[in-house]
């Protein structure tokens, strides 16, 4: 009376086949987790396959960037409550600045960073002084953090002029927000040596590598 396409009992898969299919699916998922997901996301490579495929390095970079982002967030959080205190201290320490007591100078510094190594170059500047700068890296890309430190800063103080990751160079003008030391921190995140050439010109009393 009815036309039906329902499968017969003989056509349905047996319980044994269903169990075997489920086991195969679970095994495949576990293998992918160990050989692909863990190396690519967390840098964990118990089998060594992730290192061969280049996935382990990807995971290590992700973990490093995540750690740096967490540190940056912590710095930004701690900066705000201290800002008014620092501004008041800086105002007390500020000295009248005239064109006669500012020195215009030109410098070039060359530094080489090994993989994972960081360095910092700072200029001694008075509030409102300006420096024209340009820097380039050869051999790889670097992370950079331009910032300044006032005289006798409170604990946890941070004043940034800009941060960037994985770049080969930059140029511009840095204007001192207060009397103190101002400059750049670079870190080489590549697997080869990187050479950075920094050129500066403007109103600053001294420049040196501080770390």
156-205 tens-digit pLDDT: 899 999 999 999 999 999 999 999 999 999 999 999 999 999 999 999 99
101: pLDDT strictly greater than 70 = no
Domain endpoint, select from 92, 124, 149: 92
pLDDT in tens, 16-69: 877 888 888 888 888 777 877 776 777 787 777 767 777 777 767 777 777 777
Residue 1 forms part of a structural domain:
no
Which residues 6+ apart lie within 8 Å of 118 measured at CB?
185, 186, 187, 188, 211
Contact 202, 130 (CB under 8 A): yes
Residue range of the domain that includes 121 = 102-209
Confidence of residue 89 (pLDDT cuts 50, 70, 90): very low
CA distance 26 to 36: 15
Q: What is the CATH number of the domain that holds 160?
A: 2.60.120.380
Residue 178 forms part of a structural domain:
yes
pLDDT at 125: 96
Number of structural domains, the chain?
2
CA distance 200 to 211: 18
Domain endpoint, select from 63, 92, 121: 92
Residue 5 forms part of a structural domain:
no
Residue 188 forms part of a structural domain:
yes
78 and 129 fall within a common domain? no
Residue 131 forms part of a structural domain:
yes
120 and 78 fall within a common domain? no
Q: What angle do CA 175, 177, 179 make, to 5 degrees?
A: 105
pLDDT in tens, 109-154: 999 999 999 999 999 999 999 999 999 999 999 999 999 999 888 9
Domain endpoint, select from 50, 73, 92: 92
Q: What angle do CA 105, 159, 175 make, to 5 degrees?
A: 30
Cα–Cα distances in angstroms (integers) from residue 199 to residues 66, 95, 119, 181, in the given order: 32, 27, 16, 17
159 and 191 fall within a common domain? yes
Q: Which two tokens stand for residue 207?
A: 């420049």
47 and 27 fall within a common domain? yes
pTM of the model: 0.54
Q: What angle do CA 175, 180, 185 make, to 5 degrees?
A: 75
């Amino acid at each position: 009376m009815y036309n039906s396409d329902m499968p017969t009992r003989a056509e349905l898969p047996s319980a044994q086949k269903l169990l075997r299919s489920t086991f195969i699916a679970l095994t495949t998922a576990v293998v992918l987790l160990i050989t692909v997901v863990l190396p690519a996301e967390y840098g964990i490579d118990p089998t060594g396959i992730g290192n061969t495929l280049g996935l382990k390095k990807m995971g290590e970079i992700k973990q490093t960037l995540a750690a740096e982002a967490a540190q940056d967030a912590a710095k930004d959080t701690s900066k705000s409550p201290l800002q008014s205190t620092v501004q008041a201290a800086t105002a007390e320490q500020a000295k009248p600045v005239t064109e006669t007591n500012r020195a215009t100078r030109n410098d070039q510094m060359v530094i080489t960073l090994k993989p994972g190594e960081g360095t910092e170059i700072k200029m001694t500047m008075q509030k409102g002084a300006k420096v024209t700068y340009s820097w380039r890296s050869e051999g790889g890309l670097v992370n950079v953090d331009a910032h300044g430190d006032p005289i006798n800063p409170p604990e946890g103080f941070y004043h940034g002029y800009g941060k960037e990751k994985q770049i080969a160079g930059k140029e511009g003008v840095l204007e001192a927000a207060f009397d103190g030391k101002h400059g750049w921190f670079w870190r080489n995140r590549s697997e080869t040596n990187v050479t950075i050439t920094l050129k500066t010109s403007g109103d600053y009393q001294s420049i040196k590598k501080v770390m």
